[in-house]
Amino acid sequence: MAIVEVGPESDIQPGQSACVFVNDIPIAIFNVNGEYYAIGDTCTHEDFSLSEGEVFEDATVECALHGSRFDLRTGEALSLPATGSAGSYEVWVEDGVIKLDVP
Ligand code: FES
CATH number of the domain bearing residue 17: 2.102.10.10
Radius of gyration, alpha carbons of the chain: 13
What would the pLDDT profile of 7-55 be if each residue is shown by its tens digit?
A: 999 999 999 999 999 989 999 999 999 999 999 999 999 999 999 999 9
CA distance 43 to 45: 5
Domain carrying residue 32: 2-102
Contact 52 CB / ligand 1 (< 6 Å): no
CA nearest to 93, candidates 42, 16, 36: 36
Nearest CA to ligand 1 atom 3: 66
CA distance 99 to 46: 28
Q: Does residue 3 have a pLDDT over 80?
A: yes
pLDDT, position 1: 67
Global pTM exceeds 0.85: yes
- Confidence category of residue 103, pLDDT binned at 50, 70, 90: confident
| Structural domain total, the chain | 1
